[in-house]
Amino acid sequence: MKSDEKAVASPSKLEDKTSDALSPKRIDAIIAKHLGKPGQLLGLLENLQSANKYKYLPKETLEYVSKKTKVPLSRLFSIVTFYAFFNLKPQGKHTIVVCRGTACHTKNSRKLLDAAMTILELVPEPDAEKIFLTTLDKEFTLKTVACFGQCALAPVVEVDGSVHSNMNQEKLRRVIGDIRAGGTAK
């Protein structure tokens, strides 16, 4: 799965938010946990992202990892831009991903995206097909993906890692309302 947004990213687009980054000591501990294991880079990057308060990989974290592991920054960057799972921008506490693939598009995913933006009071970006928006209170991030590979269940929306099939606006409103009320996405 590869997001549209990531296809056009470049190292210069990496977020550089010093205060969000993990301490070198913490990064060292995570590196030590993964080094020498199969799939070490993926596991390491995944672990670093989940340990970050805003669930993303700041530029300085990747630079530090590159220096410590001797893996070129360009290689790390190509990994984190290939997999949609990785984030180069700070994430809200909850993440909503609306599929904009063909099957979902024909089942009105555009309207779902518009509804989500209205519910979350987000202002659309100029290129409305490559959404990556976070609410001011950092509670929600709304983004799009090219395809979840579950086209038979279109339209598909993922909320906090749970895939919701045959989504409609009413269900989406309810799911977001439940999260705001302190529950979890059902």
x/- letters, 69..108, toward ligand FES (CB under 6 A): ------------------------------x-xxxx----
Of the two residues 27 and 98, which places its CB atom closer to ligand FES in the complex? 98
CB 72 within 8 A of CB 66: yes
* Near ligand FES by CB under 6 A: residue from 13, 68, 151, 171: 151
Q: How far apart are the C-alpha atoms of 72 and 19, rounded to whole Å?
A: 24
Q: Please give the angle made by the CA atoms of 113, 119 and 122, to the nearest 5 degrees.
A: 70
Q: At closest approach, how far in Å is the CB of 71 from ligand FES?
A: 32
| Other residues' Cβ atoms within 10 Å of the Cβ of residue 93 | 16
Cα distances from 134 to residues 36, 91, 103, 170, in angstroms, run 36, 7, 26, 22
Between 57 and 142, name the residue whose CB sits nearer to ligand FES. Answer: 142
**Residue 44 CB, nearest distance to ligand FES (Å)?**
29
Distance CA(40)–CA(67), nearest Å, equals: 16
Q: Quick one: 42 or 153, whose CB is closer to ligand FES?
A: 153
CB of residue 124 vs ligand FES: minimum separation in angstroms? 20
In angstroms, give the least distance from the CB of 133 to ligand FES.
19
Pairing status of strand 94-99 against strand 140-145: parallel
For ligand FES, give the closer residue by CB, 123 or 152: 152
What's the rounded Cα separation, in Å, for the pair 133 and 110?
15
Q: Where are the beta strands (DSSP E) in the chain?
A: 94-99, 132-134, 140-145, 157-159, 162-164
Q: How far is the CB of 163 from ligand FES (least distance, A)?
A: 9
User: Which residues between 27 and 56 bind ligand FES (CB under 6 A)?
Assistant: none
Query: Can you give the binding site for ligand FES, defined by CB under 6 A?
Result: 99, 101-104, 147-148, 150-151, 154, 156
